[in-house]
Each structure stands twice: as C-alpha cells, then as structure tokens.
Chain A
Amino acid sequence: DTEVTQTPKHLVMGMTNKKSLKCEQHMGHRAMYWYKQKAKKPPELMFVYSYEKLSINESVPSRFSPECPNSSLLNLHLHALQPEDSALYLCASSEVGRGGSRGTQYFGPGTRLLVL
C-alpha cells in the first residue's frame, strides 16, 4: 500500500480562525513533508520531518506550525492566515535515505485551502 491520506479535502477559513490539516501514512516511512502549491506553479517545500523531528523549515512564516506526533501522522496547524496563503497543501512521505528507491516520495491528494 503506497497511500498517503490527507484530511480535509477542502477547507475554508477566516483570517482569525485556527485550523489543522492532517496527513497519515502506514508505509513505515520515517520522513514526512509538507508542500504548498499555488495555482499553475510547482509544489514548494515547506517542512521536512525525519524520525519525527523537524529537520528542515524553508523559512515558513510562524502562522504555519507543523507537528509530527508519531511516525504515521503529520499535522499542519494554521493560525491567523492571510488570503495569499490560499493554496493546495500537499503531504508526502518517504524512507529516510540518500537516493534510489529509498528517496521516492509518495504524495497525498492534498488539502485545498481557501482563506477569506
């Protein structure tokens, strides 16, 4: 099974709301990722977790707060977002490794976020 699930599929929130995006995988992967994708643009890396520890933060504003409670789950907590944060948020997972098959990332379907 190479499935990564993400909930919710769609989310509409106001600028004062707090919401969370969830991502789950059961492939035994110990690296998990958040990407942001604006319309007609490629995915942009936001965060990388390796062995449940944050290893990369690509200078993402603090209104995005990632959390990895265990090896299967990845959350993205959202607070005080701006309309320009509206995008497709993608989660991915992979083995921790340097290349080849171990580097293959498996992506979820994404959460489409609209900030009003």
Chain B
Amino acid sequence: DAKTTQPPSMDCAEGRAANLPCNHSTISGNEYVYWYRQIHSQGPQYIIHGLKNNETNEMASLIITEDRKSSTLILPHATLRDTAVYYCIVRVISGNQFYFGTGTSLTVIP
C-alpha cells in the first residue's frame, strides 16, 4: 500500500495561501490522492481528490507533480476556520479502504 509523508505541523497567516505538501513516492499509476481535514473532535471532511491532473474546487486546489510522487494542497486564502489537521491519503487500489497517515496540523494565525 502506498504510504504518505506529511510535515507534522505548519503555520499560516490569515488571508495568505496555505500550501500543504505530501509525499507519496510509492503511489501506483491508478491510485488516487485524497485530501481530508479534521477540525478538533469532528469527523474528517472531504476536501479534494486527484489522479494525475491538477484539480480545483470551491475549497482548495490540488497540485500533483508529473511523476505523481508528491502533491500539494493549496488553500488560497486561509481563514481561522481552516485551522485543522489535514490528511493526505492514497486510496488502496484493491479495495475501498483508506489508511490515514499522521497528517499536518495547520494553525492559521490572525
């Protein structure tokens, strides 16, 4: 199963872009990258997913490198409500399950 590596913590100034990196060097060609976040003691919230191309939705943008070994989640204008733990997950191709890595704790500073 492909594993992910993320920095344990990051700070970002309110109103600035938050760029959260993730390494997934063992990802297989048909495995998707998903990003979720978890605000304190709530259930994880889906943010975005991608396979090869960069993706954007109303919450964030996902940039995947050409070799697919890493990706970056971009929150374009971070707010205090974006303070959360962000998880990068590679979906195992043989089934439905997710295996969470340790995640990045993002703190947005006023």
Contact = CB atoms under 8 A, between A and B. Distances in A.
Q: Do A and B bind each other?
A: yes
A42 B102 contact: yes
Contacts of A96: 96
Contacts of A4: 43
B87 A42 contact: yes
A43 interface: yes
Given A100-B49, A104-B46, A45 B99 contact: yes
Q: Is the interface of B mostly helix, strand, loop or mixed?
A: loop
B31 A55 contact: no
Contacts of A55: 95-96
Interface residues of B, number: 25
Q: Which one of B31, B96, B103 has the highest number of Cβ atoms from chain A below 10 Å of its Cβ? A: B96
B44 A98 contact: no
22 contacts: A33-B97, A33-B98, A42-B103, A43-B100, A44-B100, A48-B95, A48-B96, A48-B97, A55-B96, A90-B43, A92-B44, A96-B96, A97-B96, A99-B30, A99-B31, A99-B32, A99-B51, A99-B93, A105-B44, A109-B43, A110-B41, A110-B42
